[in-house]
C-alpha cells in the first residue's frame, strides 16, 4: 500500500519500518477504496505515523480522552499558532478515532447522560418486540432524551415522577418554543410507550402512562402537503442540466416524483436493484420489509444511466447515489432533504413542506387526478392499507363535486310502503357522511 502513495525511498523506508505498519496500511487501503486522492492519502499516512508514536497503543484499548491528550501534545510541539493547532488536533482526533475503531481498540466512553441504561433498554425492547426501524428508534430517542434530562434535574428518579411533573415539563417546553399539536402528540406517544415499559420493569408508579393526555388529532384533518404537478414538472425541467449536481439530482428527483419513493428508498437503492436487461427496478420497502418491482421507465433509466457513466465516482459502496466529494459515501437523509428543499426554494414556491416526502404527495395527487383508483395508488406507493391512501381523496375535486351534486331525494323514503318496496342503495348515515365530507372538503379547497 505504501508503494502506491509514497515515491521517495526515504519516506517509503520510514513508513515500512515504523511502528504498526500493517495496521496503518489497512486504514490507508480503506481510505483509498472510499476514493481519497493521492495527495490526501500522503498527508494521512504521515499523520498515522505520528499517531503510532504518540498514542498509547501498548494498552488493550485507547479512550477518547487519551486521543485528545496525544493530539494536544503532538500539535503543541509543532506549531504555536492557536488556530493552526486546533485544526491539527481536530484532524488528529478524527483519524485516530476512525483508525482505532477499525482496529477494534477504541474504548467506548462511559455515558454521563441520566437514565441512559433505562433508555437503551426501552429502545432494545421496541426494536426486538415491536420491530421498529432504526429511524423510528432514533425518533423515540430524540423525543425522550430532553424529558429524561429535565427529569434528572427536577425529579431525580423515575420512581418519583408524577403526572404534575410531566405537565410542568410540557409547560417548560412551551415557554422555550411553541409546539404544534402534532409535535406534542408525538412527544406524548413516546412518553406513553416509555412509561408503559417502565411500569413493566417496576421503574415508575403504576398507571402513569394513562395520565398523559395528548391533543386531539383528527384523522385526515390535513391536506397532502406536496407541490402542484405543474410545479413538479418545472422542478424536473430546471434540474435537467449538464453539471454533475444536476445530473445526479435529476435522477433522484425522478425517482421521488415518478415512483413516489421515500427518501430512504432512494438512498438505499443499490446497483444490483436495477435490472437493465429486463428493465425492472427493485425497491426495498423499509417500512414494510418487502421488495416491490416497478417497470424501469425510459426517462428514469436514461437519467440514472447518465449519472452512472458521467458523474458517479468509483468507490466500494454499492448504493447508486453517493456524495460528490471525498470521502465518497452513501447519501444521508439530511443531504437528500437539503437538496430537494433548495431545489424547491429556487422555484420560489410557498409550501407547508419542502422535503422529499412532498414529492411523494404530489405523485399520489397527480395519479388521483388521472382517474386512478385509491387501490391503484396504494399499490404504487407501497401502502399495505387503504387507510394510508384515503387522505388523497380530499384532493379529488371533480369526484367530490359529483358527490355534492348527487340527487339523494330518491334514497330517502318517508312512508312505510316505499320502505318495503325499495331498498336504499346506501344507508342513510353513509349518505349524510358523504354529504358532510363533500361540503367540508370543497369548502376548504375551492
Which residues are 292's β-sheet partners? 283
Lowest mean pLDDT among 183-192, 246-255, 300-309, 428-437: 428-437
Mean pLDDT is lowest, of 91-95, 124-128, 191-195, 372-376, for 372-376
> Which pLDDT band holds residue 321 (cuts at 50, 70, 90)?
very high
Q: What are phi and psi of 237, to 5 degrees?
A: -65, -45
- Give Cα 358 distance to the centre of its chain: 14
Provide the 3-class DSSP secondary structure of residue 281.
strand
* 56: confidence class by pLDDT, cuts 50, 70, 90: confident
pTM above 0.85, yes or no: no
Residues with Cβ within 8 Å of 218's Cβ and at least 6 positions away in sequence, in order, are none
Distance (Å, rounded) from C-alpha 440 to C-alpha 350? 24
**Active-site annotation holds for 375:** no
> Taking the mean position of all CA atoms in its chain, how far away is CA 117?
25
Q: Are 274 and 320 in contact (CB under 8 A)?
A: yes
Buried b (16+ CB within 10 A) or exposed e, 84-116: ebeebbeebbebbeebbeeeeebeeeeeeebbe
Q: Which is it for the CA torsion 258, 262, 267, 268, positive or negative?
A: negative
| Average confidence score pLDDT of the chain | 81
CA distances from 364 to 108, 228, 258, 445 (A): 46, 11, 10, 17
Residue 167: other Cβ atoms inside 10 A: 13
| Beta strand ranges found along 243-348 (DSSP E) | 274-275, 280-285, 290-295
181 is catalytic: no
* Residue 414 pLDDT greater than 50, yes or no: no
262 assigned to active site: yes
Q: How far apart (Å, rounded) are the C-alpha atoms in residues 437 and 264?
A: 34
- Give the other-Cβ count within 10 Å of 432's Cβ: 12
* Range scoring the smallest mean pLDDT among 178-187, 239-248, 311-320: 178-187
CB contact at 8 A, 200 and 371: no
Return the SS3 of 106: strand
CA 244 to chain CA centroid, nearest Å: 24
φ, ψ at 47 (rounded to 5°): -65, -40
Neighbouring C-beta atoms of residue 342, cutoff 10 Å: 11
Enter the DSSP assignment of 282: E
Query: What does the alpha-carbon distance between residue 334 and residue 337 come to, in Å, rounded to a whole number?
Result: 5
Enumerate residues 6+ apart whose C-beta is below 8 A from 196.
Answer: 209
For the four alpha carbons of 233, 234, 240 and 246, in that order, the dihedral sign comes to: negative
What does the pLDDT look like over 192-223, one tens digit per residue?
999 999 999 999 889 888 888 877 766 555 65
Active-site position among 287, 306, 329, 341: 287
Q: Does the structure show a pLDDT above 70 at 174?
A: yes
CA quadruple 262, 268, 271, 272: dihedral sign:
negative
- Look up 383 and say whether it is catalytic: yes
Beta bridge partners of 281: 274, 294
Which of these is catalytic: 262, 267, 312, 361? 262
Residue of 267, 357, 366, 394 marked active site: 357
Residue 435: pLDDT above 80?
A: no
Q: What are phi and psi of 295, to 5 degrees?
A: -70, 140
Residue count (the chain)? 446
Is 333 strand, coil or helix? Answer: helix
CB neighbours of 283 closer than 8 A, spacing ≥ 6?
Answer: 259, 261, 265, 269, 273, 291, 292, 293, 294, 382
256 near 359, Cβ under 8 Å?
yes
Catalytic, out of 268, 366, 383, 394: 383
- Beta-ladder partners of 319: 270
- For residue range 323-369, what is the model confidence (pLDDT) as tens digits? 988 778 899 989 999 999 999 999 988 887 888 988 988 888 888 88
- Is the peptide bond preceding residue 419 cis, with omega within 30 degrees of 0? no
Query: What is the mean predicted confidence (pLDDT) over 235-247?
Result: 92
- Residues sharing a CB contact under 8 Å with residue 151, sequence separation 6 or more, in sequence order: 114, 115, 158, 161, 165, 169
Amino acid at each position: 500500500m505504501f508503494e502506491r502513495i509514497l515515491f521517495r525511498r526515504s519516506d517509503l523506508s520510514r513508513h515500512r519500518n515504523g511502528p504498526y505498519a500493517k495496521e496503518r496500511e489497512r486504514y490507508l487501503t480503506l481510505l483509498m477504496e472510499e476514493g481519497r486522492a493521492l495527495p490526501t492519502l500522503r498527508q494521512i499516512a504521515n499523520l498515522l505515523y505520528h499517531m503510532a508514536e504518540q498514542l498509547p497503543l501498548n494498552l488493550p484499548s485507547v479512550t477518547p480522552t487519551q486521543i485528545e491528550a496525544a493530539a494536544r501534545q503532538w500539535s503543541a510541539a509543532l506549531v504555536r499558532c492557536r488556530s493552526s493547532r486546533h485544526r491539527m488536533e481536530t484532524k488528529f482526533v478524527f483519524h485516530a478515532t476512525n483508525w482505532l475503531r477499525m482496529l477494534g481498540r477504541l474504548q467506548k466512553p462511559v455515558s454521563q447522560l441520566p437514565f441512559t441504561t433505562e433508555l437503551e433498554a426501552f429502545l432494545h425492547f421496541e426494536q426486538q418486540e415491536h420491530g421498529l426501524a432504526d429511524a423510528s428508534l432514533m425518533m423515540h430517542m430524540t423525543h425522550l432524551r430532553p424529558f429524561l434530562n429535565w427529569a434528572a434535574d427536577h425529579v431525580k428518579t423515575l420512581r418519583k415522577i408524577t403526572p404534575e411533573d410531566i405537565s410542568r415539563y410540557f409547560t417548560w417546553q412551551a415557554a422555550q418554543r411553541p409546539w404544534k399539536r402534532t409535535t406534542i402528540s408525538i412527544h406524548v406517544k413516546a412518553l406513553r410507550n416509555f412509561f408503559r415499559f417502565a411500569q413493566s420493569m417496576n421503574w415508575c408508579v403504576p398507571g402513569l402512562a394513562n395520565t398523559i393526555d395528548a391533543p386531539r388529532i383528527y384523522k385526515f384533518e390535513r391536506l397532502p402537503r406536496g407541490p402542484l404537478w405543474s410545479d413538479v414538472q418545472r422542478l424536473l425541467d430546471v434540474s435537467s442540466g449538464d453539471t454533475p449536481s444536476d445530473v445526479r439530482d435529476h435522477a433522484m428527483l425522478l425517482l421521488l416524483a415518478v415512483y413516489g419513493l421515500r427518501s430512504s428508498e432512494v438512498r438505499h437503492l443499490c446497483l444490483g436493484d436495477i435490472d437493465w436487461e429486463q428493465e425492472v427496478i427493485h425497491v426495498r420497502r423499509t417500512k414494510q420489509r418487502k421488495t416491490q418491482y416497478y417497470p424501469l421507465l425510459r426517462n428514469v433509466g436514461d437519467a440514472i444511466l447518465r449519472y452512472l457513466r458521467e458523474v458517479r465516482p468509483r468507490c466500494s459502496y454499492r448504493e447508486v447515489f453517493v456524495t460528490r466529494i471525498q470521502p465518497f459515501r452513501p447519501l444521508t437523509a439530511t443531504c437528500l432533504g437539503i437538496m430537494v428543499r433548495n431545489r424547491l426554494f429556487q422555484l420560489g414556491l410557498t409550501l407547508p413542506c419542502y422535503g422529499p416526502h412532498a414529492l411523494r404527495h404530489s405523485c399520489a395527487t397527480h395519479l388521483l387526478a388521472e382517474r386512478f383508483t385509491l387501490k391503484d395508488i396504494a399499490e404504487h406507493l407501497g401502502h399495505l392499507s387503504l387507510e394510508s391512501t384515503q387522505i388523497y381523496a380530499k384532493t379529488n375535486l371533480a369526484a367530490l363535486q359529483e358527490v355534492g351534486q348527487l340527487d339523494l331525494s330518491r334514497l330517502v323514503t318517508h312512508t312505510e310502503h316505499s320502505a318495503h318496496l325499495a331498498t336504499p342503495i346506501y344507508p342513510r348515515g353513509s349518505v349524510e357522511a358523504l354529504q358532510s365530507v363533500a361540503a367540508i372538503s370543497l369548502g376548504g379547497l375551492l
